[in-house]
Amino acid sequence: MAAISSDELQDAWEKVKAMTILPEPPEPKLPTFGPKVPMKSKLHSIQSLITSLEYNYTGTLYFDVNKNRSFKSIVNTAKEILKEGLPIQCLEAVFLGAYLTAGLTNLERFPISFKTTAGRSTHRHIVLGIHHQQQKWGALGLSRCEKLMNKDLKFESLSDLVLDYCHEFENVYHTVLKVNVGFPFTHDIHSSERVEWRVLNLPVNTNNWTEVAKQLDGFGKDAAEIESFKKAKGVFPAWFGTRYALNAPEVELGRSPRAAQRRNSFSDDFNTFEEELQTQEPAPAQTPRTIPKHIIVTPDEFTFKKPSAKTTPAPPTNIFLQNTSPSPYLIEIEDRSGLLEIVTKTQPTLQTEERDKTNPEAHPAKATFRISASGMIAVAIKYNPHRSVTTKLTSPEKSPVKKGVNGKPSPVEPAAVNEPPHVVSFRCMPEKLLDAVPDGESFTLETPFVFKDI
């Protein structure tokens, strides 16, 4: 194509401005498929439509590229893209691909995004991973680089597909830092549920690829189960952190103002994401996170009845634990004074069974109870004279002596003995974190108690 001069360009521009009616840009025609059209042909037609819109090099975004919204809202943006027929970038291409494949119920469609570096520049790219009938993998997408766009349905696994993209990034002198995979897109274009774009976040450059590939392929199989569990319970399964140990959600702190505006955008333009290190703002001071205490213990002070005769059994006192959260909790109750016995029995565990075998006379000073979501339990605790006697036997039976000035022994004033605090502690742990409860998620409550002689 011959180059045009600036005068010719100016003349053409003046003619356009002089026109009173401009023709509407042609709307892309949606592909239609018969029942016997192969899946590869369907995906090829959809990719051809996406490619026909061309890549947007202008630096101006024509459509809403906010990712944190419902699939229904994303579908509306995709329809707007088709109506306007303007150039798009990789994220809008994923919007469009997810919408155009919504009717193909034998496909799973995953958002797959990449974070890369080239020199001092940081880049992000995203494609729509396609999984056909639990067999081959491929992708739809758009990029300035042809090799980073779509991929045919020919890959045996998700890791093979991702590795192919990583190799293509290397060919354009990019280093892949991280790969993110989200939950599969729903096929319901009217769904109001928010799309989960980054569920599995795997650092690539700092981990062995064999381990990364294993977790990618595992997530490709487990994603539907994990998503169903999260929708039902509001949290990830307890085994998620163990099975996907490499998962490292990205926390972006201290980014420049330009980077903050780009947090939800994608582009593979080599110069768009250049970080201005000289203008970076310092990271904001981290304020301590307040752990909500969803467990209520009543009463505020316990009163335990203490019989005057040791042969008289002490009546128990009921304490009440209420869970105000939508998740179950495990409560570990412990008497730190050595004077109480937890009467209410818990479900036997290996530890309690072993203790009962070795010391059948022992009385529990620590026990763990489960409270269901928004539930309440009562636990009976009483004064135990046998435990107090045992505690006293550990003290010296005779007062220490020392020699006086005349050589005769003289009693030493007994030192003040640190009496154990009259406190019952309650360590509260969300049941979903039973395997490994971080200190920042559990909390401990303490309630004082007194004795009343009877």
Higher pLDDT, 63 or 311: 63
pLDDT of 261 reads 45
Q: Which of 139-153, 306-320, 334-348, 419-433 has the highest mean pLDDT?
A: 139-153
Model confidence at 159, pLDDT cuts 50, 70, 90, reads very high
pLDDT of 352 reads 44
Q: Taking residues 81-86, what's their average pLDDT?
A: 91
Model confidence at 263, pLDDT cuts 50, 70, 90, reads very low
Q: Is 251 helix (H, G, I), strand (E, B) or coil?
A: coil
- Sort strands 151-155 and 329-335 into parallel, antiparallel or unpaired: unpaired
Q: Taking residues 362-381, what's their average pLDDT?
A: 81
Q: Which helix (H) or strand (E) holds 155?
A: strand 151-155
Residue 32, phi-psi category: left (phi > 0), alpha (psi -120 to 50), beta (remainder): beta
Amino acid at 228: S
Q: Is the peptide bond before 299 cis (omega within 30 degrees of 0)?
A: yes
Higher pLDDT, 352 or 57: 57
pLDDT of 419 reads 63
Higher pLDDT, 230 or 361: 230
Average pLDDT for the chain: 80
pLDDT of 267 reads 55
Q: Does domain 292-345+365-383+421-432+439-453 have CATH number 2.40.37.10?
A: no
pLDDT of 290 reads 62
- Give the span between the Cα atoms of 226 and 240, in whole angstroms: 8
pLDDT of 360 reads 45
Catalytic residue (one of 113, 123, 125, 174) = 125
Higher pLDDT, 387 or 228: 228
pLDDT of 286 reads 55
Higher pLDDT, 223 or 267: 223
Tokens 């080599």 correspond to 270
pLDDT of 387 reads 61
- Give the span between the Cα atoms of 57 and 61, in whole angstroms: 10
Least confident of 50-54, 230-234, 304-308, 406-410: 406-410
- Give the span between the Cα atoms of 295 and 77, in whole angstroms: 44
What percentage of residues in the chain have a pLDDT greater than 70? 76
- pLDDT of residue 327 exceeding 90: no
Residue 143 is a catalytic residue: yes
Higher pLDDT, 389 or 219: 219
Q: Taking residues 29-45, what's their average pLDDT?
A: 89
- pLDDT of residue 280 exceeding 90: no
CB atoms within 10 A of CB 434: 11
Answer whether 336's CB lies under 8 Å from 423's CB: yes
What does the domain layout of the chain look like in residue ranges? 27-244, 292-345+365-383+421-432+439-453
- pLDDT of residue 363 exceeding 80: no
End-to-end CA distance of the chain: 105
Model confidence at 172, pLDDT cuts 50, 70, 90, reads very high
pLDDT in tens, 386-400: 765 444 444 444 444
Q: HEC profile for 39-57?
A: HHHHHHHHHHHHHHCCECC
Q: Taking residues 225-241, what's their average pLDDT?
A: 92
Catalytic residue (one of 113, 123, 143, 294) = 143
pLDDT in tens, 101-137: 999 999 999 999 999 999 888 999 999 999 998 789 9
Residue 125 is a catalytic residue: yes
pLDDT of 278 reads 35
Residue 442 is a catalytic residue: no
pLDDT of 259 reads 45
Least confident of 34-48, 82-96, 201-215, 248-262: 248-262
pLDDT of 207 reads 93
pTM of the full predicted structure? Answer: 0.56
- pLDDT of residue 279 exceeding 50: no
Catalytic residue (one of 90, 131, 267, 428) = 90
Q: Taking residues 273-288, what's their average pLDDT?
A: 43
